[in-house]
Amino acid sequence: MSTTSVGRQAEAAVAIYLQQRGYLIIDQNWRSRWCEIDIIAQHQNLFYFVEVKYRYNSDFGMGIDYITSRKLQQMQFAAEFWLAANDAETTEARLAAAEVGGADFTITAWLPDL
């Protein structure tokens, strides 16, 4: 299975997880020339810009460990870019992360406010 396919499966698992908790999925795999966002969701008038990290196992660390300060800067830029490009009525937004693990794509962590 390709890494793109695995990534898409992990993102789909997170989208289902969020929908089951009342989040509306606005977009998945949103890309521009300069940035990308794995999942954009809305819940109670807040936009959540979600980074999805998948690890089959924790031999090389947990997925969340790979969200560095540089990655947070990229996420912030992407969120601001999306909000501006979509004339969002609210600027209330959160950077969030979901960690997915194993062959069954289990959600192992949900961090709604990085």
Domain boundaries, the chain: 3-67+90-111
Judge whether 25 and 13 are in contact, CB under 8 Å: no
Structure tokens at 18: 């969020």
So what's the pLDDT on residue 1? 64
Domain 3-67+90-111: assigned CATH number: 3.40.1350.10
pLDDT in tens, the chain (114 residues): 666 788 899 999 999 999 999 999 999 999 889 999 999 999 988 999 999 998 876 666 567 778 889 999 999 999 999 998 888 776 689 999 999 998 899 999 999 999
So what's the pLDDT on residue 28? 94
| Chain-centroid distance, C-alpha 63 | 12
| Ramachandran angles phi, psi of 105, nearest 5° | 55, 55
**Burial class of 78 by CB neighbour count within 10 A (0 to 12, 13 to 18, 19+):** buried
Query: Using CA of residue 54, residue 56, residue 61, residue 62, what is the dihedral sign?
Result: positive
